[in-house]
Amino acid sequence: MAPPKVYKNFIDGEWVESTSGNTFDDINPANRHELVGMFQKSNARDVEMAVAAAKEAYKAWRLVPAPKRGEILFRAARLLLESKETLAEQMTREMGKVLEETRGDVQEAIDMTFYMAGEGRRQFGQTTPSELQNKFCMSVRSPIGVAALITPWNFPMAIPSWKTMPALICGNTVVLKPAQDTPLSTYNLVQILEEAGVPRGVVNLVTGTGSEVGAPLLRQADVRLVSFTGSTEVGQEVSKVCAASFKHTCLEMGGKNVILVMDDAKLDLAVDGAVWGGFGTTGQRCTAASRVVVDRKVYREFTERFVERARRLKAGNGLDPEVQMGPLINEAQLSAVEKYVEIGKNEGAKLLCGGQRLTGDGYDCGAFYAPTVFGDCDPKMRVAQEEIFGPVVSVIPCDGLDEAIDIGNGVVYGLSSSIYTQDVNKAFKAMREMETGIFYVNASTIGAETHLPFGGTKQTGNGHREAATAALDFYSEWKSIYVDYSGKLQRAQIDNA
């Protein structure tokens, strides 16, 4: 058998080993005996070199016309499209989700790259009239500098693209730190950007742990922007570190998303949405529907259908075309899910299906957990309040729309919510009242598209948005420009008063 491939960091246009001389293993979560590859166990010195390269490259990159930067991104999007199937297969091996979903992950990166390539010709400012004669006013976007991008394991190509492409099109340079569980997909993205012609030092990749790479990256004085997607606990620490040096900081963190099922809902459609939202990506999405609030008039019928569908889901290796749900990312996440299921049972939630590891039939080598549904949940139970990040859904009864909205809003997070109803009045009221950054009508809580802003309220984030033109507001600064061609001193608010 051939030895596993050793992947390198990408610093200043070169693929290089870490100065530590050490590596770590990238393991297939569906089969812990399969080594996907070995990656650099980088340290603070590697971070310093990557940031220095990005800082030097910024001097020239910021002056490249935005349409020219867009041409490079357009080439990258074409290369991603050509390699979509290979990239998806490799992602399934390192992350575990089924091929249908990893194809979607790659497609999201393709969509984002094409979209931001077009923004190279649409970085619109404004021209506005002046209060004074013979004076011209306008605003333009300006790049900021070196961006540190820290990305999660659940969307290992899509989310790096969400951050990298708007950063580049605005004229910033990048140091990427991917999640330790899924570095290969981000490595592949960077390799494609190199092939597309991104200049030396503009994009840098440093792999390793949060403590040895992420923390030193945040403390680098030459890093001007930080974009982080991950847990709320880590995000809070990121915020504290960045606040000390006033870095631009975008945080995308936890969620406890909810589907509201009204008594007039099309139940087959609502069940489809709850299954997809709750168990897609094995529940490991920040937008996963881990709560379903159901009107008592249809509670029993909905719950019976939902549980029956959950029991039928086939879990296994995501490369198997018959498999509908892959493994959890690792043993630690599997243990966390087990802990929460025990909490739910101890709190008095009714276990309707699942509730255990999957064993035998090839499951013993992977991090597999059965699709799990709790019924008759009190909305204040921990399983209905805290992010679990696994295939666990709490079904909560309610009496009407107002109570459903109150329950839906009764968590510290505010990322995504949805309602199933045939009543336009209910739909619009919920649309207005739900305290989430994303809202769906007659669709599940997952399925965001790259041309709309993505982000949440409350403890989900810090107010910034990713994707769409909203991303440009984080990765650029506004500069207001006044041109006085009167040939004399003119004083605004004084001479024109």
Tell me the catalytic residues.
252, 286
Q: Which neighbouring-strand residues pair with 126?
A: 139
User: For helices 183-196 and 84-95, what crossing angle results, to 10°?
Assistant: 160
Nearest in space to 480 (alpha carbons), one of 492, 471, 469: 492
Q: How far is CA 47 from CA 176, 182, 206, 218, in A?
A: 10, 19, 7, 10
Neighbours of 268 (CB within 10 A): 9
Give Cα 387 to chain centroid, integer Å: 15
Q: How far is 182 from 26, CA to CA, in rounded Å? A: 7
DSSP class of 357: B
Specify the 3-state DSSP secondary structure of 339: helix
Q: Give burial (CB, 10 Å; 0-12/13-18/19+) of 168.
A: buried
Q: Check residue 315 and report its DSSP letter.
A: B
226 class by beta-carbon count within 10 Å (0-12 exposed, 13-18 middle, 19+ buried): buried
From residue 442, how far is each of 15, 39, 312, 393 by CA, in Å?
47, 43, 23, 18
Residue 486, Cβ density class (10 Å: 0-12 exposed, 13-18 middle, ≥19 buried) = exposed
